[in-house]
Amino acid sequence: MTLAWWRLELPSLPELEESLIWKLNALGIPRVAVRHRPEAPEQRQLVAWLPAADWPEAERQQLEQALAPLAATFGLTLPPIHWEQQDDEDWSLSWKQHWQADPVGQRLLILPAWLELPPEHADRMVIRMDPGSAFGTGSHPTTRLCLEAIEQLAEERSGPDAPDLGPIRVADLGCGSGILGIAALLQGAASVSASDIDSLAVRATRDNAAVSGFADRLRVDLGSVERLAELLDGRPADLLLCNILAPVIEALCPAFDTVLAPDGLGLLSGLLVDQAPRLQTVLAEQGWQAELRAQQSQWGLMTIRRA
């Protein structure tokens, strides 16, 4: 039987997970999963599938060398990478079996597009996703922090009995798979404008919005903060969602006033807790009052408002 795929496996350190998934996607490797046993959610493993014909030994060694600097950025060493060959007819099934219905917060459920809604989660709002199309599937702490913050904001605005964001306009900068914008639409937002510099992410956001029934209320395009401002038609949003790494937030924040209204609220994630003080200082210089509001392990979520 011809072996047609390589399966890459390595321990997924919390600091590295988002960066590794981003880098793999950037290198043309979209078939990525993060798995863990239900009884040990902290023991996470990143898995990726690569066509064997395209990845001989020399190419695989170059890939390992390309991933190593991501760990060095955090003062870490890249964990050992394990390679295993896999049959062509088995890879798709084995990839999909890693994904299950994933409840988040009190009311949300991330559900892979090919699964039926489990009866025990029938009362939850469902975000239907194709987890194979781009990063940002909801498993990373930064994504969960944002999802929970959106849920809490809906409660604050209309009460816990009928939480609703109200007919607000949302901007999603660095949208990834579109999961945050879809969550906002499920909880009452009127519209979402989204952008990402990765064409795979733009396609994934568009596809996931369609699967979740929001194709007409979520606009997405390729580009950074300038393109997002154009999508907003010159009217900054009421809520800014930004789940990207701290150095990128720092670089983009001078343009935040073009995508977030003076009385609006921003939810910033993707930052390590120990990066928060510097980021608060940089944001203050741009006229934003920033507050670290929540954290999971080393990752934090920050809110920003006009000072």
Per-residue pLDDT reduced to its tens digit, 255-285: 999 999 999 999 999 888 989 999 999 999 9
pLDDT for position 51 = 81
pLDDT for position 213 = 92
Domains in the chain: boundaries:
3-29+42-96, 135-306
pLDDT for position 98 = 62
Q: Is the pLDDT of residue 75 over 90?
A: no
Per-residue pLDDT reduced to its tens digit, 224-251: 999 999 999 999 999 999 998 888 999 9
pLDDT for position 87 = 72
> Comparing 3-29+42-96 with 135-306, is the CATH topology the same?
no
Band of residue 3 on the pLDDT scale cut at 50, 70, 90: low
Which of the residue ranges 56-60, 88-92, 176-180 would you say has the lowest mean pLDDT?
88-92
pLDDT for position 242 = 97
Q: Is the pLDDT of residue 2 over 60?
A: no
Of 6-20, 123-137, 146-160, the range with the highest mean pLDDT is 146-160
Per-residue pLDDT reduced to its tens digit, 10-52: 998 888 887 888 788 777 787 787 776 656 667 788 888 888 8
Q: Is the pLDDT of residue 134 over 50?
A: no
Percent pLDDT > 70 in the chain is 90
**Residue range 103-116: average pLDDT?**
89
Q: Is the pLDDT of residue 88 over 70?
A: no
Say whether domain 135-306 belongs to CATH 3.40.50.150: yes
Q: Is the pLDDT of residue 132 over 60?
A: no
This prediction's pTM: 0.76
**Domain boundaries 3-29+42-96, corresponding CATH code:** 3.30.70
Q: Is the pLDDT of residue 293 over 90?
A: yes
Helices 199-211 & 179-186 angle (0-180, nearest 10) = 30
